[in-house]
Structure 1
Amino acid sequence: MSSPAERYAQARVRAARQATAAGRFADGLGFELDDFQVRALDAVQEGDGVLVAAPTGAGKTVVGEFAVFLALETGRKAFYTTPIKALSNQKYHDLVARHGPENVGLLTGDSSINGEAPVVVMTTEVLRNMMYSSSPTLTGLGYVVMDEVHYLADRFRGAVWEEVIIHLPESVQVVSLSATVSNAEEFGDWLRTVRGNTEVIVAEHRPVPLWQHMMVGTQMFDLFVTDGGAEGSTRVNPALLQRIEQAERATGWTREDAGGPRGRRGAVRGRYADHRGRDDRRGGRGGRGRADRSDRGRRPDDVVPLADRGALPGGVASRAQVVDRLDREGLLPAITFIFSRAGCDAAVGQLLGRGMRLVPEEEGRRIRELVAERIAEVDPADLGVLGYHDFVEGLARGFAAHHAGMLPLFREIVEELFTAGRVRAVFATETLALGINMPARSVVLEKLVKFNGETHAPVTPAEYTQLTGRAGRRGIDVEGHAVVLWRRGVDPVEVAGLASTRTYPLRSSFRPSSNMAVNLVAQYGRPAAHELLQSSFAQFQADRSVVGLTRRLKENQEALDGYEEAMACDRGDFREYGRLRHELSELEKKQARRRQASRRADIAVALDELGVGDVVRLEGSRKGTMAVVLPTSRAKGTGEPTALTSNGSLHTLTVAGFRDVPDVIGTLKVPSSFNARSPKARKDLASALREKVSEPLPGRSGRGGGSRGDGGDDGDAPAYRSSLETRVDELRAQLRAHPSHTCPDREEHARWAARWWQLRRETDDLQRRVSERTNTVAKTFERICDLLSTLGYLTPDGLAVTEEGQRLRRIYTELDLVVAEALRRGSWQRLSGADLAAVVSALVHEARGDDVGEARMPGVEVEEALGEIGAIWREVSTLKVEHRLEPDREPDPGIAWMVHRWASGRGLEEVLRDGTLSAGDFVRRCKQVVDLLGQIAQAADPPVARTARRASSAVLRGVVAADRLD
């Protein structure tokens, strides 16, 4: 118990803290702050920027909310930026609930609410565009919160984060919130370089412990157990390994089926038993007094037969069984990551088919009422094609899907109900893990392989942490649970590695674009923009990698100076003499390589000419000194013959096995019925070989005999061979004539000269690598500026923006130059609103692997406009390649006819009929079309601008407009 003096001192500290802004803010939270939160709040209060890197659910957003609190208290503005619209919407609602609708605004690509409020939530692109346009909304800005700042590693949109951080005024405090990354200090060092004082605060402790499990059938096991004692070692659970081996035997599968060895019975268990978990905080306490979940609630159906209806391949429990098991264990609500949109929808259908219910019927009725209220703006005729009836039935029973192919409004309803605890199971793709606040008690991973946009690849440790980090709700759960479903081929050691790996470096994806270049030149001028780009995180990382190379360059140069001093000769310039010797040595090596290549070619020809029964002498083989060529023996794909050696072994005759062209030293009749698989046949033929060819026999004319083994340079063209030999003769003459040639210490000097030349080659290679990494971002910027000068968007000297360049400044799409060129050439003057929407769709659409279909043209005008777009893209791509820039992706007209139908007023069912796009994907593409049409309306001449506004209104209707906030 504290003494009165100690209690008085503690009360003094509390009172002093409550007198500060941080103290007043903390008092209103209703919970105690963690140490890392207190440190971060103090840094923000002192006027410093902060980078907070902490696990999902640790409470880092509290720091961002404090910046908002300070802005309101001090009369300044705060912008809260997020990477995606869904997170912006969620944060907007959170801040409205705390500070009132009059103090909070929202700006996203398709929503604008109270944009001049003191606190505005926005996507990062909106803030970037504000800065480039010098928006008056920036006046009075004091704080910018960059939520999910690790998103700057995203190769498509990550550059926006760096643009914002670099270009924000110095007076703005930046509060950066990141998932746990292993190079937080490096990122913090860069922030200090470009933003000034920045406190880096890293928290690795999860406030809610995370337990790691694997489910085999419907039995659930802890992934790790700990050998006794507080300092005991952590290893993969032996009971789990034993159960997996039983499951493999039951399904008739062995590790050889997956290309791995199985070995003797029990080898799997022995192979896994020595694995040690590397991070005790990641579920490594599995053996500390906790009952194994596999021992509770066991019943006959725990081992799931393959024939189970709805079961997944490899003896895995069906989705209904997994949810039922989690429910019985008290581990709901749960998110199951499936990595397939169709799989998520199918999971809901499977639970409906089983008649599963996870919430009371009365709660289901209230959920139906809420959903009906939320979808009131959707045309009832569209509900069928949207899959509404299964959607609402699943919600009313407590489960739902969540993926990018759903209608955005449907996803928002799922997020709202799940966050409120009214939906107990969600089947989701990995997009749910990107910042949306949907924590659960448990997370289930069906597979550890997912499509990354190009191929199916294993889940990385960073992805595993991001996904499983959703498990464990702070203030609700005492622990979270991550469950991996075992299936054939899943190695629990690999799962253990994913669960315990802690290295997730943040890598910049920054690269200049044409739009960025014209905006930078317009705002800062080209020289200043060049210097500004040198401060990007991408260049910062490149420069850091150069530091070590530069140090080695310096060391090498010092060594070169020493070698040069050691090889000094009083009779002449030994450096020059060494250069002659080096050049001669290189040419002689080239001659030798060419002779060797020629000899290998001759050996290959000789081997190809060998016939059945030919006997050749082997070189240094332990399988016998002679071999006879066997019938039908050419190795597949190589043409190399197989022979039988004199000791009865089979031997492939390869080029590498001969130093010179093989001689045919005799022939032996090989029975046509010879079977190389028969030990007796091999023994008899080997005996005949030894008897027949007991002594060397003369080779036959024209077969082998080393006809090209004289060391000549027969493979070279005569002119080249003569030139090479002439140069060798010249160098030898120059060496003999050089004054240093007669030096008695010549060979001692030569040894130092040889070291000098070897180190010189290494140093030149280092210099090349340094040159490649130095100023890489600025060099790209300069090449873009040269391209823009060629096209007329910058003046010929590249120092100022032209009138056409001002148009390009307002085009932020990936294909910015294509759009700007189309506007300049008047390509869209004759188009109607629906036509323009269809053409613009080709600039934003990029087909997924499963929605590629034949492009249909809605009319001649659209077809001609798309043809012109294609021609412009080819011209721009050619110019980019000429300027050593990466060309843009090609426009994709795959949904032009769908967008044209929609903009013409057709119903959703008719639009989606015979198409490959889901309703959610179509709505998302339409929103992107609306966004680009808005840019075109700002940049185009009046006739096209009017058409763009009409097109935008025609697209922004029905389900496309339904999920916009009021």
Structure 2
Amino acid sequence: MGSVKRKSIEDPSDTSRPEKQLREDSLLGLDEQVACVHDVSYPEGYVPHAPSSAKTEESLKPAKEFPFTLDPFQSEAIKCLNNGESVMVSAHTSAGKTVVALYAIAMSLKNNQRVIYTSPIKALSNQKYREFKEEFSDVGLMTGDVTIEPNASCLVMTTEIWRSMQYKGSEVTREVAWIIFDEVHYMRDRERGVVWEESIVMAPKNSRFVFLSATVPNAKEFADWVAKVHQQPCHIVYTDYRPTPLQHYMFPSGGDGLYLVVDEKGKFREESFQKALNALVPASEGGRKRENGKWQKGLVVGKAGEDSDIFKMVKMIIQRQYDPVICFSFSKRECEFLAMQMAKMDLNNDDEKVNIESIFWSAMDMLSDDDRKLPQVSNMLPLLKRGIGVHHSGLLPILKEVIEILFQEGFIKCLFATETFSIGLNMPARTVVFSNVRKFDGDKFRWISSGEYIQMSGRAGRRGIDDRGICILMVDEKLEPSTAKLMLKGSADPLNSAFHLSYNMLLNQIRCEDGDPENLLRNSFYQFQADQAIPDLQKQAKILAEERDSIVLEEEDSLEDYYSLLQQHKSLKNDVRDIVFSPKYCLPFLQPGRLAGVYCTNTNENVPSFSIKENVTWGVIINFEMVKGLSKDDEDKKPEDANYTVDILTRCMVHKDELGKKSTKIVPLKDPGEAAVVSVPLSKIDSLSSVRLKIPKDLIPLEARAHTLKKVSEVLSRYAKEGGMPLLHPEDDMKVKNSSYSKAARRIEALESQFEKHDISKSPIIEEKLKVLHKKKELTARIKSIKKSLRSSSVLAFKDELKARKRVLRRLGYISRDDVVELKGKVACEISSADELTLTELMFNGVFKEIKVEEMVSLLSCFVWQEKLQDAQKPRDELELLFTQLQDAAWKVAKVQLECKVQIDVENFVSSFRPDIMEAIYAWAKGSKFYEIMEFTQVFEGSLIRAIRRLEEVLQQLIQAAQSIGETELESKFEDAVSKIKRDIVFAASLYL
């Protein structure tokens, strides 16, 4: 395939090329749609070997034949594998990346080599194990929950297990020839992404890699990194090809039709988009209400389900035979709420119902009679029989798997799922619906990103079944065409490192024979990306320096002196204002009708004013109020400590910044004839006049506002003749008694007399000269900041943090002065599923020795529970006492970190341990039935099961830890704890195994 475009890493023109560029480099002579890009990264100084011509007939035979014609990207990737070289395959969901993994496994087995397949989630590992087992038989599984045939030639595992095997020096790591990292774009995950980076950097030097990833625009950068770290070529096979093209529609809330906004050729239809927005019925007239920051959707409370948007939408999809459909929703509650809207819809015939029932009950056979009575189990079957399913992390794992199986078999026509359904599971549908275009990301409501949209919409369109996939966005608020285009036609999110240091990683690195934390940092993708930025930063600094040096000013020294006086003047004026206009002094004078001077800036002017006299606009005070804080403490503040805003009638507006947050920039109105009441913070008031006007009660009519401002103008012009508006004197009238104020006021007077005597102040173009000097100073500051970035990029990115964290470990007694891992360190080395330091401190404080097993399990639940519950049950006294001990240990650990200069928010850290499920876990360890616990707890069944499974994971790690330091008594106590919690529905085996 001679038309393949290859470039070596040394090629200076080849920076990490964006997605668009890659698309333009596509294979020549092929249909543009199917085309792929093949590129290769070589390590520095690497000389490619000439291919050996002495290959035997046996070695030329493909390791595996496929019953279909391979796509160009698949055959390109397989060529790289046959040449024994690593490859990264970057392609859309459902494009067929697994073919490359299957070939790599077949090739390893044929050559009697060992191969590892890692995936980000246990459920995906279970599925892949089942798939590979049917194909190859010599396959094992290791997920932390389950171990099956650990000596098999092909091992499927989670990336976390692979990382810990590498740290422990397992013999598997010495034998492995190929490592397949599935869903490698997971590396950008904020919490767990670092595990991928560690395991790639630490991978055995003689192994080769297959990386499977969703489309990432910087695939080349990733391959460059792998080539550098492992000193071997790494190929990139990139394709933007979708086997089934997509059409993107909009469904406006309250409307009754679909509008095609992006066609299958990727063209955005502006006209259709505008029509959709015009058909939008505002929320107040129906559609949707928002309550307490949660989205309530589809129906205004009390309306029948058939009137809801989602019911109309699904009905239309079924009528047009666009099913099966996945409706994505961003919360578990909303998923269930929307599914309940389908109460009157039945999508299955009698035969299908019989099949569903038999599949369902044969899956539930492994459950005890009590567990089968769980409301979630009994409520789900009637829904499933009607062809409707729900899939989210709050479901019982066994239910989730039954639903996946029913969906794959075509018995579920409409599935309501959360975002997690779009990761890895190979379950395409014909149509994908987004029930919302905004999501809450733990911090705020925001538009979904183009990367998230690509990931989820990738589920639409089944290869070989549908001629196109359909994506429908349900929109309930006006969105800008630019926002829509960015979402629907934007590029995938780049693969950026989420690397961070953890104590467990440090201790394991220090303990390993050839471990070296600095080496891990130096080789991290994070450091690589920082280093990549260096040439660009150097270029920027050079351009800015040239621009700065081209600015030549006459009398620059004298100007500098004047500029510095101005800066001092400005700073002192601010100090004075902060004192005089603090609530303590100014509140008694903010009566309605008093004239006030407000600072005004010109929006177009990014350069500050260089006049001593500032731009002040006069207006009338209407009233003032305390700013309500977000927390209870803010509301209880004393009046003099609280924040206030003043409503002033003036010809100004509060300028909003891009994010829509109110910035405190006050700007003149474009039409000076307008008059508006604006809320300004006290800090924006420049002066208060002794003049008060009588103002009308009702200022809503424009005439009333205009008439009042006319009176203000008259007052201003009258006093202009008499030397200016009479002001309240801070000391005489407002009774400001403050030594700092007196000092600042005297200093301002002295400065103002210096201005008058200054030689340069007489220059007619002084303002212009000062603006030029200000620009020069800004350029100097930008150059300084770039140089600072350059210093931090070229040295080790985490060098200071590494030192600080080592200080913490020494001070707490985890490592010695000479970096030898002590007893405590050996324990923390084993703990990767919970906060290792706090847990180790509790263990060494003797807390676990003195308490009952059930209490210990209950205490450990605080380490694995992350969700915030509204009305969580308060734990009983003895458990609360234990929780206090945990908080004390966490407080101590956090304080030491703060003292050792590790950046940490102590309050946040301590409150991250939550007692919400202590009672539930205590009852479970005591032997209660699962349904009994569900009766008194607010938690979703699946969430509780996940917590108990994580708890078992932590206990297993604690067993290892106790073993490593010879604590046999504790070891048997932890084993006893495992036997108490490991039972029934919580640990029911996966249906895939």
Structure 2-normalised TM-score?
0.75
What runs of 5+ residues in structure 2 fail to find an aligned partner?
1-53, 292-297, 602-615, 626-643, 653-671, 733-737, 760-769
CA contact (8 A) 1:663 1:699 kept: no
> CA 1:809/1:728 → structure 2, altered by over 3 Å: closer, same or farther?
farther
Q: Does 1:72 align with 2:67?
A: no
One-letter identity of the residue aligned with 1:590: Q
Matched, 1:834 2:867: no
Report what 1:115 is aligned to: 150
Distance 1:250 1:752 in 2: 51
1:794 aligned to which of 798, 807, 815 = 815
Superposition pairs for residues 118-157 of structure 1, below 5 Å? 118-157=153-192
Q: Is 2:958–2:974's contact at 8 Å kept on the other side of the alignment? A: yes
Kept in 1: contact 2:687–2:727 (CA 8 A): no
Give, in whole Å, the separation in 1 of the partners of 2:838 and 2:492: 40
Structure 2 partner of 1:775: 796
Q: Deviation at 1:338?
A: 2.1
> What is the distance in 2 between the residues matched to 1:754 and 1:483?
52
Q: Does 1:436 align with 2:425?
A: yes
Q: CA deviation at 1:389?
A: 2.1
Alignment equivalent of 2:126, drawn from 80, 86, 89: 89
- Matched residue of 2:179: which SS? strand
For 1:248-397, list aligned pairs within 5 A.
Answer: 248=281, 252=285, 309-311=304-306, 316-318=309-311, 321-351=312-342, 353-354=343-344, 356-358=346-348, 360-397=349-386
Q: CA deviation at 1:600?
A: 9.8
1:40 to 55, 59, 77: 77
CA contact (8 A) 1:333 1:425 kept: yes
Equivalent AA in structure 1 for residue 946 of structure 2: R
Shift of 1:146: 0.5
Cα distance between partner residues in 1 of 2:353 and 2:372: 19
* 1:343 CA drift (Å): 3.0
1:460 paired residue among 442, 449, 453: 449
SS of 1:344's equivalent in the other structure is helix
CA distance in 1, matches of 2:413, 2:135: 27
Give the Cα separation in 1 of the matches to 2:102 and 2:215: 19
Quick one: structure 1 residues 529 and 22, their matched pair in 2 at CA, closer, same or farther if it must change by over 3 Å? Answer: farther
Q: Determine helix, strand or coil for the equivalent of 1:509.
A: coil
Amino acid at match of 1:895: I
In 1: Cα distance, 2:355 partner to 2:135 partner: 26
CA distance in 2, matches of 1:220, 1:380: 47
Q: Is the 8 A contact 2:181 2:209 kept in 1?
A: yes
Whether 2:820 is the aligned partner of 1:808: answer: no
Aligned to 1:956: 982
Q: Is the Cα–Cα contact under 8 Å of residues 698 and 704 in structure 2 kept in the other structure?
A: no
How far the C-alpha of 1:249 sits from its partner, in A, is 8.5
Post-superposition offset of 1:772: 4.3
SS of 2:936's equivalent in the other structure is coil
Provide the rounded CA distance (Å) in 1 between the counterparts of 2:274 and 2:772. 60
Stretch moving more, 321-330 or 439-448? 321-330
Q: Does 1:589 align with 2:567?
A: yes
**In 2, Cα distance between the equivalents of 1:308 and 1:752?**
65
The alpha-carbon deviation at position 465 of structure 1 amounts to 1.0
User: Contact conserved, 2:287 with 2:476, CA < 8 A, in 1?
Assistant: no
**1:786-844: CA deviations, max 9, x gaps?**
211111111113x3222322222111124011112222222201233322221211111
The worse-fitting range, judged by mean Cα deviation, of 719-728 and 106-115 is 719-728
Q: What per-residue deviation string (whole Å, max 9, x for no partner) do you get for residues 477-510 of structure 1?
A: 2221112234354667744442111142122111
Distance 1:425 1:635, change over 3 A: same
**Aligned residue runs from structure 1 range 511-660, under 5 A:** 511-523=500-512, 528-553=516-541, 586=564, 589-591=567-569, 593-595=571-573, 598=576, 633-634=622-623, 638-639=645-646, 642=649
Match of 1:420 in 2: 409
2:569·2:751 contact (CA, 8 Å) conserved in 1? Answer: no
Q: State how far apart, in whole Å, the 1-side matches of 2:503 and 2:617 are.
A: 69
Amino acid at match of 1:209: P
Structure 1 position 535, deviation (Å): 1.2
Offset at residue 641 of structure 1 (A): 5.9
Bigger shift: 186-195 or 938-947?
186-195
Summarize deviations over 1:85-135 as a string: whole Å, max 9, x none.
1100110010011012xx011111211111110011111000001011111
Bigger Cα displacement from structure 2, 338-347 vs 88-97: 338-347
Residues 421 and 873 (structure 1 numbering): CA distance in 2 closer, same or farther, change over 3 Å? same
Which of the two has higher C-alpha Rg? 1
Residue 882 of structure 2 corresponds to residue 865 of structure 1:
yes
> In structure 2, which of residues 898, 903, 911 is the aligned counterpart of residue 881 of structure 1?
898
Structure 1 residues 387 and 554, CA gap change in structure 2 (3 angstroms): same
**Cα distance in 1, alignment partners of residues 715 and 197 from structure 2:** 81
Query: Which residue matches 1:235?
Result: 269
Question: Alignment length, in residue pairs?
Answer: 852
Matched-pair contact (CA < 8 Å) for 1:612–1:629: no
Contact 2:332 2:418 in 1 (8 A): yes
- Give the deviation of 1:431 after TM superposition: 1.0
Residues 259 and 276, structure 2, Cα contact 8 Å, conserved in 1: no
Residue 864 to residue 718, structure 1, CA distance change in 2 (3 Å): closer
State the TM-score, normalizing by the size of structure 1: 0.77
Equivalent of 2:805, from 784, 787, 794? 784
Aligned to 1:24, the other structure's residue is in SS state coil
Partner of 1:296: none
Q: Retained in 2: the 8 A contact 1:582–1:757?
A: no
1:381 Cα offset (Å): 1.1
Q: Paired residue for 1:282?
A: none
Cα deviation for residue 18 of structure 1 reads 12
Structure 1 residue 928 corresponds to structure 2 residue 966: no
Could you tell me whether the CA contact under 8 Å between 1:49 and 1:173 is conserved in 2?
yes
Measured in 2, the distance between the counterparts of 1:494 and 1:697 equals 54
Of 205-214 and 827-836, deviating more is 827-836
Q: Residues of 1 paired with 2:488 and 2:725: CA distance?
A: 69
> 1:586 is aligned with what amino acid?
S
Of residues 245, 256, 264 in structure 2, which corresponds to 1:209?
A: 245
Moved more, 29-38 or 456-465: 456-465
Counterpart-to-counterpart distance in 2, 1:520 and 1:485: 49
Q: 1:910 aligns with which of 932, 936, 946?
A: 932
| Other structure's SS at 1:776 match | coil
- Mean Cα deviation higher: 696-705 or 484-493: 696-705
The 1:349–1:21 alpha-carbon spacing in structure 2 relative to 1, beyond 3 Å, is: farther
Determine the C-alpha separation between the residues in 2 that align with 1:756 and 1:671.
Answer: 48
Q: Is 1:199 matched up with 2:235?
A: yes
Which residue identity lines up with residue 874 of structure 2 in the other structure?
A
| 1:51 alignment partner in structure 2 | 88
What's the % identity of the aligned pairs?
Answer: 25
What is the CA–CA distance in structure 1 between the aligned matches of 2:712 and 2:399, rounded to whole Å? 82
Tell me what 2:628 maps to: none
The CA deviation at 1:32 is: 0.8
> Separation in 1 of the partners of 2:277 and 2:812?
64
Alignment counterpart, residue 495 of structure 2, candidates 499, 506, 513: 506
Q: How far 1:522 moved relative to its partner?
A: 1.4
363-372 vs 883-892, which deviates more?
Answer: 883-892
Query: Structure 1 CA distance, aligned partners of 2:985 and 2:383?
Result: 21
| Matches for 1:10-29 after TM superposition, within 5 Å | 24-25=62-63, 27=65, 29=66
Q: Determine the C-alpha separation between the residues in 2 that align with 1:409 and 1:58.
A: 28
CA contact (8 A) 2:675 2:702 kept: no
Q: CA deviation at 1:933?
A: 0.3
Q: Is the 8 A contact 1:525 1:800 kept in 2?
A: no
Mapping of 1:657-668 within 5 angstroms? none
Does structure 2 retain, via aligned residues, the 8 Å contact 1:699–1:705? no
8 Å contact from structure 1 (residues 607, 640) kept in 2: no
User: Equivalent residue of 1:43, what SS?
Assistant: helix
Offset from partner CA, 1:523-569 (integer Å, 9 cap, x none): 2567x421231111112222223432234446677899x899x99xx
In the alignment, the residues of structure 1 paired with residue 147 and residue 131 of structure 2 have an alpha-carbon distance, to the nearest angstrom, of 17
